[in-house]
Amino acid sequence: MTTTRTILIAAAAALLSWTVASAEPAPAPPAATLPAGQYTLDPAHASLVFHVNHLGVSNFTSRFSKFDATLDIDPAHPETARVTATIDPASVEIFGSNLASILKSDKWFNVARFPQMTFKSTKVERTGDKTARITGDLTLHGITRPVVLDATFNGGYGKNSFDPGGARIGFSARGTLNRSQFGLAEGIPSPGTTMGVGDAVQFQLEVEFSRKD
């Protein structure tokens, strides 16, 4: 009886472990197995946030709610990727104040004269298994200058039963620019003081791109 009970317990444990293992989602395929081609931004799963020092006491945070991008990539050769993006400066969002209207004025973004910001990558350098440095031309306030993004590949898949839309790939990226280089010098503190709005602007992106089969 003891032997029979032991066998039954072992069989039940094995069945339970197999059931749990089979219920776990399959691991995402490596980047190289994703289909090559053009991916478009999924705006519902994307954010563009920027931070700038305010009076030396905080890092003021805002975001752009309207932007679009395309990614041409061969995941087996990410260094050949190309990224283009457009940003609507009038979509700047600041909650609970009238600062958004100030930023849209001619002293800042001047959205009436410069209704669009653009970015076009010029070089992609792999810096690790899942990281890369993306150099590109940013046009802001009518001025075009190079900027650098440090990007991280977060994951992706070619096909997934939970996402019938097709292939999907996601990245995080961040960088820094000096706004004075783009003709946006309003409010920059005088040398030796922090009373104003900093020149350095840090920006961060969380983006997902999708591609239909």
pLDDT tens, per residue, the chain with 213 residues: 444 444 333 444 443 333 333 344 444 445 657 999 999 999 999 999 999 999 999 999 999 999 999 999 998 999 999 999 999 999 999 987 789 999 999 999 999 999 999 999 999 999 999 999 999 999 999 999 999 999 999 999 988 878 877 899 999 999 999 999 999 999 999 999 999 999 999 999 999 999 987
Class of domain 2-211: mainly beta
Parse the chain into domains and list their residue ranges.
Answer: 2-211
Give the global pTM: 0.82
| Cα dihedral: 109, 111, 113, 118 (round 10) | 80
Instruction: Give the pLDDT score at 161.
Output: 77
Instruction: Give the pLDDT score at 159.
Output: 80
Closest CA relative to residue 52, chosen from 114, 98, 115, 94 = 94
Instruction: Give the pLDDT score at 104.
Output: 95
Instruction: Give the pLDDT score at 22.
Output: 39
Instruction: Give the pLDDT score at 31.
Output: 61
Helix then strand then coil, in percent of the chain rounded to 5, is: 20, 45, 35
Residue type, 88: D
